[in-house]
Amino acid sequence: MKFSFQSKHFITAGLAILISLMAIGLEYVGFFKMFELKSYDLHFAVKSHIQPSKVYAPIVLIVVDDQTMNSPTFRKPMMLWYKNFTQVIDSLVNNDARTVGFDYMLPDVLFDDYLPGYSQTWLKTLFLAKRKKIPFITGYMELTERTIMPHKNYLMIIEPSNLGVFNLTPDQDDYIRRQRLWFNDRLTDKKINTFGYAVAKAFDPAIKLATDTVYIDFVSGSAPFTTFSFDEVYEKAAQNDLEFMRKHFKGKIVLLGSTNIRRQDRYLTPLSNIVKTAFQKTAGVEIHAHIIDTLLARRFFTELSFALKYAIYLFIALIVSFVVMSGGKWFIIITLPLFGVMLTGGSITAFLYYQIFPYVPTVFVLISGSGLASFYRFFIFNRERRKLQNLFERYLPPEIVKKLLAANEDDFFVGNNKRLCILFSDIRNFTGFSEQKTPQEIVARLNEYFDAMSAEVTAQKGIVDKFIGDGMLTFFGVLETDDNPSLYGARCAMNMMNRLDALNEIWKSRGEEPFKIGIGLHTGIVMLGNIGSTNKTEFTVIGDVVNLASRLESMTKALDASILISETVYHDIQNVIETEEKGMITIRGRSPEKTYQLLGLKN
């Protein structure tokens, strides 16, 4: 039987709670982390194709690229570039660049003993930027065991807010997807902004964030930001080309950094998974540009709260468990993949609106939920169901057993009226036969007889209601799809007689007495259902129709007929049977009933 309303829903709810707790627990221990990171990259790739972000902030990059490294001017150690750097920075400051971000750390030692005037050159540039009120942002490195800071002489000029931490925030697969915005200083425990956040706040002091980490909304494309080679800009600065400098850098955020492939400041990002830039690493200065653009554009991805995640896991688990526990095979096959497609579409849609949906855990809930519910339904519950079915099929046809097992427990005892053909059969003179035999011989002969007769009943989609001593009550019309149960009953009666003839030949060959039987058939409306107590029930029929069929069987000997049918059965199938009228019979409380002997079936 199916679960009752209460038990089915309790089991469904229990499975859903278990699965959602598993998802939360596995997420807490980081089981999904790598899968979630790759899922994020796939979502980002889809977003970049469907709804790519555009550059918002006025950011210009001046990069030490391969062109610069191959220029005769710069074929020297980078330590000797200090005059080149300061000349470009001075030109940017004098031509009203809004903010200058220097993605190189100023030296932590003074080189004046080796390069006279080295520190003075840098100090003059720093003083110029401070005097012009142009934010000059640089930074330092936080290593595992120590901090590498610019020399204290430079720090005396640089405003604390203009000094950031260069460190990026790699995930466990070494991809850069997010960026911490501040760290706590090891010595003072003060909050120190990271380089990109420091540049963004210098440009727009109104930026305030409650979280210390943001996802970077990378702008896809091979060169999304306006970029100049340092070699080119240095030449323009050296020539004092004011028109060029003001045209390209006035009012802009200018970042100086390296993109040449010889430098190791390059990282994998979600851009590395996009076809046009596949497997390419992004330079650190370009990542800082994406961070700054994300902050200034306020394009912030948000994640769901713990409570909302659990609610989603529980909701999905409930749906999946209900579908698997209650649905048919094709409904499950169609619904679960469709639900997976809807889940994927919803996750992508949420990502387009900067909402990170916990896609991997929900897929886990979908798969594990369907798997666990299927295991329970088809291996645990169905195992017990099959045991019950095997037991029932010893007494009822498989089709009836399936109907019984499919019935709701609440409806199991509810009967209904149905037009059926009732067949009564009985062995004639069985009392005399049994008086001459041992109990073992009687049981063996009856079992052989009933086994053969039951097979004929089942073959005509009939149901053996019960064995009454040497008699048998059966009915037809529950399983067949047409509205003529009389035909099935008549076929069964004729087949039973033919089968009995075959049995009698076998028994005669063994030196045993043959059987003679009488059969009565009547068709009408009966009450059909499971009748009895909660401890013992019978799937049976009751009503006046049953009584008349029994009366017909009892009159077969007196009317010298093997099979007697009622007038109702005759009218149902008179075109396909051969009969002989046998007169009227009377039953107390009923009008006289015309009877016919069934001789055979036409064709």
Give yes or no for a contact between 320 and 370, defined as CB atoms under 8 angstroms apart.
yes
| pTM higher than the cut 0.85 | no
Which of the two residues, 273 and 192, has the higher pLDDT score?
Answer: 192
Average pLDDT of the chain is 87
364 and 510 in a common domain: no
Owning domain of residue 324: 5-31+308-391
CA dist 586 and 600 (Å) reads 25
> Cα(475)–Cα(566) distance, rounded to whole angstroms?
15
Higher pLDDT, 222 or 486: 486
pLDDT digits (tens, 9 = 90+) for 86-117: 999 999 999 999 999 999 999 888 888 788 88
Residues 529-563 pLDDT 10s: 878 776 777 778 899 999 999 999 999 999 999 99
- What DSSP state is assigned to residue 376? I
- Domain final residue pick, 363, 391, 419: 391
Residue 152 and residue 257 share a domain: yes
Asked whether residue 483 carries a pLDDT value surpassing 90, the answer given is no
Our count of domains for the chain comes to 3
CATH of the domain at 496: 3.30.70.1230
Is there a domain that residue 373 lies in? yes
pLDDT above 70 covers a percentage of the chain that reads 90
In a domain, 42, yes or no: no
**Mean pLDDT of the 324-329 span:** 75
Stretch (H or E) spanning 31? none
- SS3 string of 394-456? CCCCHHHHHHHHHCCHHHCCCCEEEEEEEEEEEECCHHHHHHCCCHHHHHHHHHHHHHHHHHH
220 pLDDT higher than 90? no
Q: How confident is the model at residue 4 (pLDDT cuts 50, 70, 90)?
A: very low
Predicted confidence at residue 5, as pLDDT, reads 40
> Which pLDDT score, from 0 to 100, does residue 385 have?
64
8 Å CB contact between 147 and 183? no
Residue 17, in any domain of the structure: yes
47 in a structural domain? no
If you search the block for the tokens 């992004």, which residue do you land on?
282
Sign of CA dihedral 28, 32, 34, 40: negative
Listed residue (426, 601, 415, 425) closest to 525, CA to CA: 415
Residue ending a domain, among 391, 413, 437, is: 391
pLDDT at 6: 47
410, 437: one domain: yes
Q: Do 168 and 220 lie in a common domain?
A: yes
CA neighbor of 159 nearest in space, from 202, 120, 197, 211: 202
Do 582 and 461 belong together in one domain?
yes
Confidence class for position 404, pLDDT limits 50, 70, 90? low
Rounded to whole angstroms, the Cα distance separating 463 from 423 reads 10
**Is residue 23 located within the same domain as residue 147?**
no
Is residue 341 predicted with pLDDT exceeding 90? yes
What span, in angstroms and rounded, lies between the C-alpha atoms of 258 and 286? Answer: 9
Q: How far apart are the first and last CA of the chain?
A: 42
pLDDT digits (tens, 9 = 90+) for 521-531: 999 999 988 78
Burial of 527 (0-12, 13-18, 19+ CB in 10 A): middle
* Residues in Cβ contact with 464 at an 8 Å cutoff, skipping those fewer than 6 apart: 395, 396, 454, 457, 458, 472, 473, 474
Under 8 Å between Cβ of 598 and 577:
yes
Domain boundary among 298, 330, 364: 298
**Do residues 334 and 254 share a domain?**
no
Of 109-118, 449-458, 503-512, which range is least confident? Answer: 109-118
- Among the listed ranges 108-112, 176-180, 351-355, 487-491, which one has the minimum average pLDDT value? 108-112
Residues 25 and 64 placed together within one structural domain of the fold: no
* Three-class secondary structure assignment of 499-542: HHHHHHHHHHHCCCCCCCEEEEEEEEEEEEEEEECCCCEEEEEE
| Domain shared by 470 and 337, yes or no | no
- If asked whether residues 498 and 381 sit together in one domain, one would say no
Which of 125, 134, 127 is CA-nearest to residue 97?
A: 134
Confidence (pLDDT) at 3: 43
Contacts of 192 (CB under 8 A, 6+ apart): 163, 164, 165, 182, 183, 184, 185
Tell whether the torsion through CA atoms of 142, 147, 153 and 159 is positive or negative. Answer: positive
SS3 per residue for 180-205: ECEEECCCCCCEEEEHHHHHHHHHCC
Q: Give residue 393's pLDDT.
A: 64
- 183 assigned to some structural domain: yes
Lowest mean pLDDT among 136-140, 183-187, 334-338, 503-507: 183-187
Summarize pLDDT for 230-268 with one digit per residue, the tens.
999 999 999 999 999 999 999 999 999 998 877 778 899
pLDDT band at 595 (very low <50, low <70, confident <90, very high): very high
489-508 burial, b at 16+ Cβ within 10 Å, e below that, comes to bbbbbbbbbebbeebeeebe
> 434 and 454, same structural domain?
yes
Q: Per-residue pLDDT averaged across 330-355, rounded? A: 89
Task: Examine residue 424 and state whether it is found in any structural domain, yes or no.
Answer: yes
> Would you say residue 10 lies in a domain?
yes
| Contact (CB, 8 A) for 138 and 163 | yes
Average pLDDT over residues 70-86: 90
Residue 2 has pLDDT above 50, yes or no: no
> What span, in angstroms and rounded, lies between the C-alpha atoms of 138 and 100?
9
Domain annotation covers residue 358: yes
Task: Please indicate, yes or no, whether residues 486 and 581 belong to a single structural domain of this protein.
Answer: yes
Residue 529's pLDDT is: 81
pLDDT value of position 381: 61
